[in-house]
Amino acid sequence: MTRKARFVLAAMVVLVAFGVLVITGMRKSRATLYYLTVDEFWQQQATLRDQVGRVNGEIVPGSVQYDPGTLVLTMELRGTARNLPVVYHGAKPDYLEQAPSAVVEGRLGADGVFQADQILLKCPSKYESGK
């Protein structure tokens, strides 16, 4: 085998190994888990049962209820056809009442309530720079 052929073969092996590492890393990374809208979630709920997922939606005004004694937070995310009821156990996120929307991560319970393990909020507009 010529020197040039060995170099090309070695370069291909390195590229394939690098590709395998990137793909494996992306599969294990939670950062590659995207979110669905409330409507998309309801359309795909049968295939998503018992799987962790993320859902993004507008927080229904007046739906946020928090019990500081039990650390239980309930709210609804708006969908066009059907809202998504959400329950979260833990400390109430700061500025929840001012947040226009949220991304919740968790699973849909058998009762049709989304059991959130994590809540990510969109920053209130008062923190956006003025233009």
Distance CA 106, CA 96 (A): 18
Instruction: Give bridge partners of residue 86 from the DSSP assignment.
Output: 75, 114
Average pLDDT value for the chain? 85
Tell me: pLDDT of 1 over 80.
no
The per-residue pLDDT for 89 is 96
Q: How do residues 12-27 score in pLDDT, each as one tens digit?
A: 999 998 888 877 766 6
Q: How do residues 81-116 score in pLDDT, each as one tens digit?
A: 899 999 999 999 988 888 889 999 999 988 889 999
- Tell me phi and psi for residue 117, to 5 degrees: -95, -20
The per-residue pLDDT for 61 is 93
Contact 107, 114 (CB under 8 A): yes
Tell me: pLDDT of 67 over 70.
yes
Overall residue count recorded for the chain in this entry: 131
* Nearest to 64, CA basis, from 116, 127, 128, 126: 116
* Nearest to 84, CA basis, from 51, 53, 47: 53
Tell me: pLDDT of 6 over 70.
yes
Residues 6+ apart with CB under 8 A from 32: 26
